[in-house]
Amino acid sequence: MPTIRLHITAKNLTLMAGLIAATLSAGCATSTVTPTPVEPEVETAPPPVSSNWVPFARYGRYTLVELKPQAAQQNLLLQVVDVFMPTKPDATVGDGLRHVLQRSGYALCDDLQVAALYEKPLPVAHLQLGPMFLHDALLTLAGPAWEMQVDDRERRVCFEPSLETLP
């Protein structure tokens, strides 16, 4: 096996010793810095937000989403529904209205005046409704002879006979 010889000259040895000494002396050096007193920050009011400012959040690389409720979340009758009615041979308009109102946040009024509407058979044309607004789906099921009354406080939908005469 051949032997490895290292040739370290006095010049290189002096250079390495100087570098080691400089590193050790710089690493152990400490400096004394007097801390400056910190003044308390004065809180300033945030600048007023303009009326046309719309907050948004970044979702992904190219998607910005507005941080405000959609129109259908504020006015529940504007939510879009696409409804397939259960096919029962004796389905009524009342069954259809209740089915459309499921999970909408509204309930149907139980009034004796509209029992005539609720007991009518559900037309085959109304077995599939939508996509359309919830408001329009309810009016479609009730027909033009009935007016819809909405109590937003109680979230109830009621129908009354229309006062207008039909042609």
Whether the ω angle into residue 131 lies within 30 degrees of 0, i.e. cis, is yes
User: Are 137 and 126 in contact, with CB atoms under 8 Å apart?
Assistant: no
Q: Mean pLDDT throughout 105-121?
A: 92
d(CA 19, CA 25): 10
- What was the pLDDT predicted at 165? 60
Percent pLDDT > 70 in the chain is 89
DSSP annotation of 104? T
- What was the pLDDT predicted at 21? 77
Question: Could you write out the three-class secondary structure of 49-99?
Answer: CCCCCCCEEEECCCEEEECCCCHHHHCHHHCEEEEECCCCCCCEHHHHHHH
- What was the pLDDT predicted at 122? 95
- What was the pLDDT predicted at 151? 95
d(CA 129, CA 98): 14
Pairing outcome for strands 156-161 and 146-151? antiparallel
Q: What is the pLDDT of residues 41-89, one digit of tens each?
A: 777 777 787 778 778 899 889 999 888 888 888 999 999 999 999 888 8
Amino acid type, 44: T
- The pLDDT-based confidence of 40 (bands split at 50, 70, 90) is confident
